[in-house]
Amino acid sequence: MSTATNAALSVRGLDITLIGGGRPVPVVTGAALTVAPREIVGLVGESGSGKSLTSLALMRLLDPKVARVTAGSVALFGRELLDLSGSAMRAVRGKEIGMIFQDPMTSLDPAFTTGYQLTSVLRRHTALGRAQARRRAVELLGLVGIADPRHRVDQYPHQLSGGMRQRVMIAMAIACEPKVLIADEPTTALDATTQAQILELIRTLAETMHMSTIITTHDLGVVAEVCDRVAVMYAGQVVELASTEQLFYHPRHPYTERLLRSLPRVGAAEQLTGIPGQPPRAGNFPPGCRFAPRCDHATAPTCTEDVPALRPLAEGRATRCARTAELKLTGVGR
């Protein structure tokens, strides 16, 4: 794990509480994650694991009537974001951190041209004039691989394909050359061919623009393809931190092992399936280890009563399994 001082983005002890339905319900507890400069980190988990909420929390974009950050720290190059004023945070959004959302069909405004949506972000954060911003918007559309950007800049989202819309959203996210890019399930809504292209685009851009990137996904294939390091989330907690290689070959948490086992042997890019039982929902998290009820290795009372901590194992490695030293977990074969 990189030390916090030279990290691009460092998340510590992040708690998120759902407040929508009367009684507050903790949904993410103690999320921790560090992204070094120019690193691509995957945040992996099933539906409901809290990864999307976590990524929104980093941008402070949680709907305050639905969910709130109740504890923790999010530091961008050592600067605490959770303490910033609303307007200071708005200056960070789009300028220092760019964000890509999962559904390109609903995430672009149907009433405005792609050009307008791009230039409004550009002009918010730069001193560009109208004509300059437009020229830059055309450039950006070209940069994200949209053919005939001069024409596309005046089109509305409904005139573009899903893949093109996702490219437009990427162009908006990188318009002001942010240092950090957060991509929340950037390929989930796309078909397989487009998925690969979009991932390749994100990786290339991250490289050429020296961005640190967080990609949330439920798809270990995505992780294998682009990520340097991985944080695995389960039931609102980060359960394992590792480099991609270590995670795949030497998992240290039983949940990770199960994830890997559910991957088909041939062709890595497949969805997670085949873990018996349902992940617990927020408000019904079991005491002790939250994975214990579905875990083959769980023993009472160690796993069912004691709350495991996220324990560092080595530089950049940590696991939230009390029995990790005793267990012999298997990764994917070489």
Partner 1 sequence: MIDNQIAPSAPVIPAGPSRVGVWRAFARHRPALTALVVFLLIALAAVLAPVLPLHDPNAQVLLDRLHGPSGQYLLGTDELGRDQLARLLFATRISLWAALQATAVGMILGVPLGLFTGTVGGRLDSVLSRAFDAVQSIPALILAIAVVGVLGRQLTPAMISIGIAFSPTFYRVSRAAASTVAGETYIEASRSMGRRTTRIVVDHVLGNVSAALVVVISTTFAFGILAEAALSYLGLGVQPPSASLGSMLTSAANLLNSAPQLTVEPGLVITLLVLCVSMVSDAVQSIASPGGDR
Partner 2 sequence: MVRMIGRRVAIAVPLLLIVSFLVFALTAVSNTDPARAILGEGATAASITNLRHQLGLDQTPLHRYGVWLWQLLHGNLGRSWFGNVPVATKIAQGLPVTAALVLASIVVTAAVAMPLGLYTGMRPGGRVDRIAGAVAGFFLAMPEFWVALLLVLILSQKLHLLPGTGTTVITANVWLDVQYLAIPVIAISLPQICALYRQTRASSEIVARQDYVRTARAGGIAEAELLRTRVAKNALVPAVTLLGLQLGRMIGIAAVVESVYGMQGIGSMAVQAALNSDLPVVLGIVLVTAAVVMAANLLADITTYYLAPKARRA
Helices 162-174 and 192-208 cross at an angle (nearest 10°) of 20
Binding mask 144-183 for partner 2 (x = CB under 8 A): ------------x-x----------x--xx-x--------
Q: Which is nearer to partner 1, 134 or 218 (CB)?
A: 218
DSSP 15: E
Segment interacting with partner 1, rule: CB under 8 A, options 61-69, 154-162, 172-180, 237-245: 61-69
CA 248 to chain centre: 18
Binding mask 51-70 for partner 2 (x = CB under 8 A): --------x-x-x-x-----
Residue found under tokens 């795949």: 248
Single out the residue of 5, 47, 85, 87 in contact with partner 2 (rule: CB under 8 A). Answer: 87
User: How far is it, in rounded angstroms, from Cα 46 to Cα 278?
Assistant: 10
Single out the residue of 67, 99, 180, 329 in contact with partner 1 (rule: CB under 8 A). Answer: 67
85-104 residues near partner 1, rule: CB under 8 A? 102-103
Q: Which is nearer to partner 1, 51 or 253 (CB)?
A: 51
Do 271 and 218 touch, CB atoms closer than 8 A? Answer: yes
- What is the torsional sign of CA 10, 225, 43, 275? negative
Tokens standing for 136? 């830059």
- Burial class for 88, CB neighbours closer than 10 Å (0-12, 13-18, 19+): exposed
Residue 262: Cβ within 10 Å count: 14
- For the chain, how many residues are written? 334
Residue 271, interface with partner 1 (CB under 8 A)? yes
Residue 16, interface with partner 2 (CB under 8 A)? no
Judged by the rule CB under 8 A, the positions of this chain that interact with partner 2 are 59, 61, 63, 65, 87, 90-95, 98-99, 101, 103, 106-112, 117, 120-121, 124-125, 156, 158, 169, 172-173, 175
Judged by the rule CB under 8 A, the positions of this chain that interact with partner 1 are 18, 27, 47-53, 56, 62-63, 66-67, 102-103, 185, 188, 218, 271, 281-282
